[in-house]
A and B are shown apart, each in its own frame.
Chain A
Amino acid sequence: MTRPVAQPFTEFRARDRVRALLDPGTFREILDPFARVESPHLALQGIVPQGDDGAVIGRGTIDGVSAVVVALDGAFQGGGIGEVSGAKLASSLEQAVNDNRNGTPTRAVILLETGGIRLQEANLGLLAISEIHSAIVELRSFGPVVGVVVGTVGCFGGMGIAAGLTSHLIMTRGGRLSLNGPEVIETEAGIEELDSSDRAGIWAMIGGAQRVAIGQAETLVDDDADAVAAAVRDVYRTAPATAVPARSTRIAAGRRLLAAVDPTGRPTPTDIRNLSTGGSL
């Protein structure tokens, strides 16, 4: 008899996830649910808004260093980015840029549990996501920006790009990372292109184990609250910011991979692993 872990990180909702990554007792929330800054667009479309608009902004410390940890709540509208949640993320990251500039080293961790844009407020969400992208790129020059994708929603759409821009991405086997989600691809391109009910097949393509194996994420971690928190601290303890160029700056490697893929065939997850580690099909 083997018992599973006592505290799966995926069992925590956004607020508890943020708290778990900050030093004990240091969590302080910016614009908590009682600030009642919620989406003005959802009620008009018959959707009950949520007091934090599905985004939790936490300040505190990580190993004693000032930190901002932001999280999207996958249980609210699939973690979709709307005007308010997007603005909360973008401005808190921009504030971290300012803090760093003004001499207060500030770490930034982004917990990504999101389908991307919230369709009910898509244009405003898109604008916010571009601001989030800019802030992540700017923050990278001060130190590692850590992304965490554990599930159960995964990370898709414009926020999949945000994950790609981080300097260090931590995933679990259950986490998924992609641009279009499997259901969207099946709807748009047909079940011959992709069967979204083949869960094992989906995870083999875009799950955490595969993303780490092909170098699109750095750390594979168990779905365990203590393990995820340790993995985040380890990034700052062991990896100076300048050690490895960020994934999104490795243009040549990306071009080589693209050139090696034959889009007329149907490469398997194993093929992609071989290609990305320097082999060929």
Chain B
Amino acid sequence: MNSTNDMRWQMRRARKLERLASVGSLANGRVVETGNLVAFLEAVLRPGDTVALEGNNQKQADFLSRGLAEVDPGRINDLHMLISSISRPEHLDLFEKGIASLVDFSYAGAQSTRVATLLADGTMKVGAIHTYLELYARLFVDLIPDIALVAADKADRNGNLYTGPNTEDTPTIVEAAAFRSGIVIAQVNELVDGVDDLPRVDIPGSWVDFVIPADRPFQIEPLFTRDPRKITDVHVLLAMLSIRGIYERHQVTTLNHGIGFDTAAIELLLPTYGEKLGLRGKIARNWALNPHPTLIPAIESGWVDSITSFGGEVGMERYTAARSDIFATGHDGSLRSNRMISQVAGLYATDMFIGSTLQLDPLANSSTVTRGRLSGFGGAPNLGSDPHGRRHSSPAWLSLSEGEGQLGVKRGQKLVVQIAETYGAGATPRFVEHLDAVEVGTAAGMPIAPVMIYGDDVTHVVSEEGVAYLYKARDLEERRQAVTALAGAGPVGSESTPEQRAQLRRDGILALPEDLGVRRSDASRSLLAAKSIEDLVTWSGGLYDPPAKFRSW
């Protein structure tokens, strides 16, 4: 038998060719007209298809998702949706209309309440709630898409795509479908004639089957912009404790930051407080980070050597282009981002993840899930975990090795730091006996609780009471004592006794502000290198162009 031509092993390709033929006059070559979207989707899709729809916490293929929600459920139904972030109402309309039935996702942000409801009444079935990296990885293993719906800035008539600063997930999703005889459909803000009309090619045309000019530019959210005006003196104190107790002590040079106001305060303290401590060049040099506007003063002051970005950030386009020594840029000069690569970088190539949490239990399990909302995860569980497969060492990583290890082999550990102000908005305690996530997980019938960061990965906790060095705790009781010592007033904090705290300090497991040379009365907004968005614009020499919702002028 001539195995080269044995069609029994080329069924996926045959099915693809059949679909391409059925599109007929709805496409002119690779180009579909804007107004033909719904008819085109009805022609190319089949019931039961696995559909990867691009949508993360920044960029959304919203023209395609709005079109998909308009197809006839009598023709197209039972779809299995793969959506990294369920962010838009029509993502859930798909399930209410009977177009889709099963979803695998990672994050549900703005739609978290409705997700919880649809799950509870059975309208939507969930394969699993993943981290970003897991979901992308499974696109190549056992969740291979039949259809990929993605968003690009520009395309030419041959399907070459320019995704620009917000490349993000697009190459990963396209690759998963394109090399498995899936059909790749891209919405574009602008269609140009030839490849020379594109600033650069981010995804080659041979990976792309169809391009459709969108009715309006794809939705994009400035999720990583924190207004310095909202940083409080307490955030500044948390930042000072973190810099002295962790960055300086462990000499952390490679890192990732969360998007809270406390980590924004750290970014804004580097050129002031950090400079006074003589730490420039010694800490915080190489980052896996989106282009945070609050990092501009540190970059301008010579603190930062390199940044690899998961996505772009609205308003940072000209700044990142003008700082190509720091950010990855294409030959056209504009930023290139890639979420999957940056996630891997954040997992394996950085020594520290530091971020805020909404709830922390006494063993330092950490979660942003609260009652009635099923928000899922973004990248925090990947970035905030110790990759046991890591083999390269660094001073920071090695500084967490205790003795010779359980198996008699010395190894280091990633620093995973959770910042928890003792009380959050509305006087809600951040330190709790039991995470809401456990109850939410049970109510939704999930096989495991949606815990963001497992306690055994958390090496340090910071609150305004001090810093806990949990990696030094010898047993669970000591770990519990170290966490409750930081909890402040309230039921969890009242477990902690002065004797316990004194012993923990002697053992180096707990450091109070005075142990770190931090005076609480010094913690003031006056230390911030920028106190407003306007200050950030000034620092950038006018290159940062904040979106309208962040302007006060």
Contact = CB atoms under 8 A, between A and B. Distances in A.
Interface of A: 1-4, 8, 10-11, 151-152, 173-174, 197-201, 203, 207-209, 223
Given A8-B532, A11-B531, A2 B538 contact: yes
Interface stretch (B278-286, B455-463, B545-553): B545-553
Contacts of B300: 1
B175 interface: no
Nearest to B538: A4
B301 A1 contact: yes
A203 B553 CA distance: 5
Contacts of A201: 548
Contact of A200 (B229, B301, B548): B548
Contact of A199 (B531, B538, B552): B552
Nearest to A204: B553
A78 to B, nearest CB: 15
B319 to A, nearest CB: 12
Given A1-B301, A1-B539, A174 B534 contact: yes
A151 B541 contact: no
B551 A152 contact: no
Contacts of B453: none
Most buried by A among B530, B531, B535, B553: B553
Contacts of B526: 11
Contact of A174 (B301, B541, B553): B553
Given A11-B525, A152-B229, A4 B551 contact: no
Contacts of A223: 532, 534
Contact of B539 (A4, A173, A208): A4
B552 to A, nearest CB: 4
B552 A174 contact: yes
Most buried by A among B525, B538, B548: B548
22 contacts: A1-B300, A1-B539, A2-B539, A4-B530, A4-B534, A4-B535, A11-B526, A11-B531, A151-B552, A152-B229, A173-B534, A173-B553, A174-B532, A174-B552, A197-B549, A198-B549, A199-B548, A199-B550, A199-B551, A201-B548, A203-B553, A209-B553
Contacts of B534: 4, 173-174, 223
Interface string B218-253: 000000000001000000000000000000000000
A4 B535 CA distance: 5
Contacts of B525: 11
Contacts of A151: 552
A151 B227 CA distance: 15
Interface of B: 229, 300-301, 525-526, 530-532, 534-535, 538-539, 541, 548-553
B302 to A, nearest CB: 9
Nearest to A151: B552
A95 to B, nearest CB: 34
B231 to A, nearest CB: 11
A196 to B, nearest CB: 10
B203 to A, nearest CB: 33
Contacts of B531: 4, 8, 10-11
Contacts, number: 55
Contacts of A1: 300-301, 539, 541
A85 to B, nearest CB: 24
A151 B552 CA distance: 9
B538 A198 contact: no
A2 B535 CA distance: 9
A207 B551 CA distance: 11
Given A8-B532, A152-B552, 8 more contacts: A1-B541, A4-B538, A151-B552, A174-B534, A199-B549, A203-B551, A203-B553, A209-B553
Nearest to A203: B553
A218 B532 CA distance: 25
Contacts of A200: 548, 551, 553
Most buried by A among B526, B530, B534: B534
Contacts of A207: 552-553
Contacts of B532: 4, 8, 10, 174, 223
A47 B202 CA distance: 56
Contacts of A3: 538-539
Most buried by A among B300, B531, B552: B552
Contacts of A209: 553
A105 B531 CA distance: 38
Contacts of B552: 151-152, 173-174, 199, 203, 207
A208 B552 CA distance: 10
A79 to B, nearest CB: 16
A143 B538 CA distance: 37
B356 to A, nearest CB: 23
Nearest to B536: A4
B236 to A, nearest CB: 12
A1 B544 CA distance: 12
A54 to B, nearest CB: 19
Nearest to A198: B548
Nearest to A174: B552
A13 to B, nearest CB: 11
A8 B541 CA distance: 18
A203 B534 CA distance: 13
A46 to B, nearest CB: 13
Contacts of B229: 152
B135 to A, nearest CB: 31
A226 B70 CA distance: 60
Contacts of A174: 532, 534, 552-553
B86 to A, nearest CB: 23
A207 B9 CA distance: 68
Contacts of A11: 525-526, 531
B485 to A, nearest CB: 29
A201 B538 CA distance: 21
Contacts of B541: 1-2
A1 B535 CA distance: 12
A208 B525 CA distance: 25
A173 B551 CA distance: 10
Contacts of B553: 173-174, 200, 203, 207-209
List the 9 closest pairs (A to B, CB-CB), nearest first.
A4-B535, A200-B548, A173-B553, A1-B300, A174-B552, A200-B551, A4-B538, A199-B551, A203-B553
Contacts of A197: 549
Contacts of B538: 2-4
Most buried by B among A199, A203, A207, A208: A199
A203 B550 CA distance: 11
A2 B531 CA distance: 14
A223 B531 CA distance: 11
A151 B535 CA distance: 15
Contacts of B551: 199-200, 203
A198 B538 CA distance: 22
A139 to B, nearest CB: 31
A174 to B, nearest CB: 4
A200 B549 CA distance: 7
Nearest to A208: B553
A173 B533 CA distance: 13
A232 B102 CA distance: 66
A151 B532 CA distance: 12
Contacts of A199: 548-552
A250 B544 CA distance: 41
A117 to B, nearest CB: 24
A200 B314 CA distance: 15
Most buried by A among B300, B530, B531: B531
Contacts of A2: 538-539, 541
